[in-house]
């Protein structure tokens, strides 16, 4: 018995990692913008915003790693090298798994780069 069944590997899994990245991007930048606009009314400082961004970054990275594992499994754990350009159902499944794995890697890097300003920016600029 598998923890995550193979039925979850569909065309929708291709979009999982970019959607996680987009949600992280929106949550991080909207959270920082709201804090900077209303910082006088909030009971916490910029350290609270950094902690919030760190928490959503860890959640996003965990989701992308899980999606990457599912893509790697769908690809067949790298058993066959690309290109998977045949007409068989197996080739289509392996191609989709490989493409999803590449999108997961790209989304992982994008999430890290989205969170990096929280490390270097110490306060809101007027």
pLDDT in tens, 16-33: 999 999 999 999 999 999
Question: Nearest to residue 103, comparing CAs of 68, 59, 66, 73?
Answer: 68
pTM score, two decimals? 0.80
Question: Nearest to residue 109, comparing CAs of 60, 55, 51, 76?
Answer: 60
Burial string for 87-121 (b: 16+ CB within 10 Å, else e) reads eeeeeebbbbbbbbbebbeebbebbeebbeebeee
1 has pLDDT over 50: no
> Rounded to whole angstroms, what are the CA distances from 17 to 27, 87, 93, 123?
15, 26, 18, 30
Does residue 23 or residue 48 have the better pLDDT? 23
Give the pLDDT confidence of 66-122 residue by residue, as tens digits. 999 888 887 766 666 655 555 666 677 777 888 888 999 999 999 999 999 888 887
> Rounded to whole angstroms, what are the CA distances from 28 to 43, 57, 60?
19, 8, 11
38 has pLDDT over 90: no
pLDDT at 75: 72
């Amino acid at each position: 018995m598998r923890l995550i069944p193979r039925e979850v590997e569909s065309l929708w899994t291709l979009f999982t990692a970019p959607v996680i990245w987009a949600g992280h991007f929106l949550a991080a930048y909207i959270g920082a913008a709201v804090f900077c606009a209303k910082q006088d009314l909030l009971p916490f400082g910029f350290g609270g915003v950094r902690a919030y961004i760190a928490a959503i970054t860890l959640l996003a990275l965990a989701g992308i790693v899980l999606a990457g594992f599912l893509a790697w499994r769908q690809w067949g754990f790298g058993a066959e090298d690309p290109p998977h350009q045949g007409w068989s159902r197996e080739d289509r499944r392996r191609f989709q798994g490989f493409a999803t794995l590449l999108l997961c890697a790209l989304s992982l890097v994008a999430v890290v780069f989205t969170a990096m300003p929280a490390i270097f920016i110490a306060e809101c600029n007027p």
